[in-house]
Amino acid sequence: AREAAAAQGVADFFAGAKCFASVVIGRADASSPEPVVPPGSDLLLVLTVRELGPTVKLFSSAALIDGGTEVLIDVARYLPGRREPDRQFSIHWRNGGPGVIKGVQSLPADMSAALQAGLM
């Protein structure tokens, strides 16, 4: 369910991002070859999702709850003709706070919001 939520959030972000003329979204795994910018493309963004999910912290009293959702994404940008990324950074985004308990239903929107905060 988290992978589907991540994929939906990525698709939603790029569907609304006007700074990318065209976008092709693909999925890679550990056995995929090293990233290469496709012919005719200006760049390749490799997004590695490290964390996507609800969080809950319980403190000494049951009345003290801190929760929300957390998204952690590593971003690498590749330019044509280069084997190494020219830029790498991480996006660490949280939404929640004291008294908040969230489930998985908001994860696609949380992924999209994290990408908007980090890439726009």
Q: What is the pLDDT of residue 54?
A: 83
Q: What is the pLDDT of residue 26?
A: 87
% of the chain with per-residue pLDDT over 70: 98
- Which residues, other chains included, contact 72 with Cβ-Cβ below 8 Å and sequence gap of 6+? 49, 50, 51, 52, 90, 91, 92, 93
Quote the mean pLDDT of the chain.
88
Angle between helices 2-16 and 107-119 (to 10 degrees): 50
Q: Is the pLDDT of residue 1 over 90?
A: no
